[in-house]
């Protein structure tokens, strides 16, 4: 056992992966802390506020996956070009990704301002939840506009190994968010007591400040800057590569996140007790997946760098090591959920029925995180590092839209099964696709160097 530990300690890949993963874990931990703080604080406001914010936050979840898709799509190219030493290509990819993120964030922000009631009606027909959620969405619109710019810039920084800077920015923003949540939810320091609306105001203010900090970091950076002039740089070859490689990743994450939001649609029509219980479950599950999702992100960056150096066999070996770590972190994630359970069940101020749902939903998630860990590491980490984004798009779309979502609607509204049976069936989605995902991994077809040598022969700068 000691020899095995020393082997891991002395292995260059393991040292590099842990150097990358620790800041990402801290970042993800703080993100989960913000979500949990929202729920804990709203717990003292009322069950309706918790439920309304949980449902309205599904739009932020979808938007996060959009930005995550654009970010990981940009990372596919940036990580490999960084391994190759081509910083100019990275700047152009940043500009391309930023164009898409700004357009999408403007769309979401516009909808949140103009028709928030209609957005809430998709999830619930409860008038009180619609009113609370609509107010929340209007104030969240500002954060959507900032978020698109922030996520792309941070994704590019992470792809070149600047994860510590990214973590420092997130620490500042998330800490401020938690503080402002308390101020505006409870009306501290003379501020108005705004309840659920205060959560949105706190989030928008913290995003504005995080964006300002990104510009400050950019000003001090010598290579990768947050420069809107990148938006106007044209390169046909890179744009073609971005569309070919990144848009399937974006489509994958949008398809998955919208389908996952449909779970909330299903649960939202099963009663406020089920919604309130699921609100706590989402927070706890986020803590359980922090380690494994961080490993997937770090692994994708590192393997992408190695492939960019054209060390394909070394990348294949690294992927095998990453898989071993993923299985371990998936098991640890389940144990984390199990350890948090007693505290959640003791302090959650929910109805008796909601507490019953909460207990068994948490137990289901102790094994669910293993399925999510393996699939996320392979689809969003290993495969995308090698430019293989199309498989994940096809696999997740079929799994979610042809299996999980129809099964959920059938179980809930046609067969009218009990709430816990519906929830259990929804949580089989990750395991159904395991055979195809593992087969793809073993085939090695994902392992490709996607960089170009003659990249700037056709570069044109817009007037």
Q: Across the 463 residues of the chain, what is the mean pLDDT of every consecutive 10-residue run?
A: 48 82 79 65 70 78 79 83 86 90 91 87 81 85 88 87 84 85 81 79 88 89 80 85 84 83 84 84 84 84 87 90 90 92 84 89 92 90 88 92 94 92 93 93 89 63 40
Are residues 64 and 73 in contact, defined by beta-carbon separation less than 8 angstroms? Answer: no
What was the pLDDT predicted at 35?
Answer: 61
Please tell me the distance from the alpha carbon of residue 397 to that of residue 406, in angstroms, as a whole number.
Answer: 12
What was the pLDDT predicted at 38?
Answer: 63
Q: Which helix (H) or strand (E) holds 53?
A: helix 47-84
What was the pLDDT predicted at 456?
Answer: 63
Alpha-carbon distances of 189 from 34, 40, 185, 195, 258, rounded to whole Å: 20, 20, 12, 15, 39
What are 199-245's pLDDT values in tens digits?
Answer: 888 888 988 999 999 999 888 877 778 878 888 888 888 888 888 88
Are residues 29 and 290 in contact, defined by beta-carbon separation less than 8 angstroms? Answer: yes
What are 374-409's pLDDT values in tens digits?
Answer: 998 999 889 988 889 899 999 999 999 999 999 999
Please tell me the distance from the alpha carbon of residue 379 to that of residue 135, in angstroms, as a whole number.
Answer: 36
What was the pLDDT predicted at 43?
Answer: 65
What was the pLDDT predicted at 403?
Answer: 95
Are residues 194 and 49 in contact, defined by beta-carbon separation less than 8 angstroms? Answer: no
What was the pLDDT predicted at 44?
Answer: 64
> CA triplet 195, 198, 200: central angle to 5 degrees?
125
What was the pLDDT predicted at 407?
Answer: 95
Please tell me the distance from the alpha carbon of residue 61 to that of residue 302, in angstroms, as a whole number.
Answer: 26
**393: helix, coil or strand?**
helix
What are 65-108's pLDDT values in tens digits?
Answer: 788 778 877 888 888 888 888 888 888 899 999 999 999 999 98
Please tell me the distance from the alpha carbon of residue 290 to that of residue 175, in angstroms, as a whole number.
Answer: 18
In 3D, which of 387, 309, 242, 300 has the Cα closest to residue 84?
A: 309
């Amino acid at each position: 056992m000691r020899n095995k530990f020393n082997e891991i300690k002395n292995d260059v890949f393991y040292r590099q992966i842990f150097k990358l993963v620790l800041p990402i874990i801290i970042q993800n931990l703080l993100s989960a802390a913000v979500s949990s703080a929202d729920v804990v604080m709203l717990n003292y406001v009322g069950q309706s506020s918790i439920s309304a914010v949980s449902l309205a936050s599904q739009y932020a979840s979808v938007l996060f996956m959009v930005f995550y898709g654009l970010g990981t799509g940009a990372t596919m190219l940036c990580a490999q070009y960084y391994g190759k030493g081509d910083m100019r290509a990275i700047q152009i990819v940043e500009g391309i990704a930023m164009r898409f993120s700004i357009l999408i964030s403007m769309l979401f922000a516009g909808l949140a301002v103009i028709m928030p009631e209609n957005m809430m009606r998709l999830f619930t027909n409860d008038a009180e939840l619609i009113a609370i959620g609509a107010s929340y969405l209007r104030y969240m619109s500002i954060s959507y506009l900032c978020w698109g710019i922030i996520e792309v810039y941070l994704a590019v920084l992470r792809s070149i190994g600047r994860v510590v800077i990214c973590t420092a920015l997130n620490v500042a923003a998330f800490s401020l968010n938690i503080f402002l949540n308390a101020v505006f939810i409870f009306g501290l320091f003379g501020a108005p007591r705004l309840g659920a609306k205060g959560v949105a105001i706190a989030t928008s203010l913290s995003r504005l400040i995080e964006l300002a900090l990104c510009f400050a970091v950019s000003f001090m950076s010598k290579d990768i800057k947050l420069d809107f002039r990148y938006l106007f740089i044209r390169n046909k070859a890179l744009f073609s590569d971005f569309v070919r490689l990144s848009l399937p990743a974006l489509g994958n994450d949008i398809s998955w996140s919208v389908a996952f939001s449909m779970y909330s649609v299903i649960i939202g029509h099963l009663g406020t007790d089920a919604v309130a219980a699921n609100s706590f479950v989402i927070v706890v599950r986020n803590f359980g997946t922090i380690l494994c999702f961080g490993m997937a992100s770090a692994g994708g960056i590192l393997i992408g760098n190695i492939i960019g150096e054209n060390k394909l066999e070394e990348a294949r070996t690294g992927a095998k090591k990453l898989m071993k770590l993923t299985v371990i972190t998936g098991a640890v994630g389940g144990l984390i959920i199990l350890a948090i359970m007693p505290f959640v069940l003791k302090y959650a101020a929910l109805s008796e029925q909601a507490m019953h749902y909460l207990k068994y939903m948490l137990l289901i998630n102790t094994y669910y995180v293993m399925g999510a860990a393996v699939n996320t590491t392979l689809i969003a980490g290993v495969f995308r590092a090698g430019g293989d984004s199309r498989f994940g798009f096809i696999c997740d779309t079929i799994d979610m839209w042809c299996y999980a979502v129809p099964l959920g609607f059938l179980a809930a509204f046609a067969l009218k099964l009990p709430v816990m049976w519906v929830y259990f069936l929804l949580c089989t989605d990750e395991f159904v696709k395991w055979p195809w995902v593992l087969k793809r991994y073993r085939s090695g077809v994902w392992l490709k160097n996607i960089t170009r040598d003659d990249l700037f022969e056709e570069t044109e700068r817009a007037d």
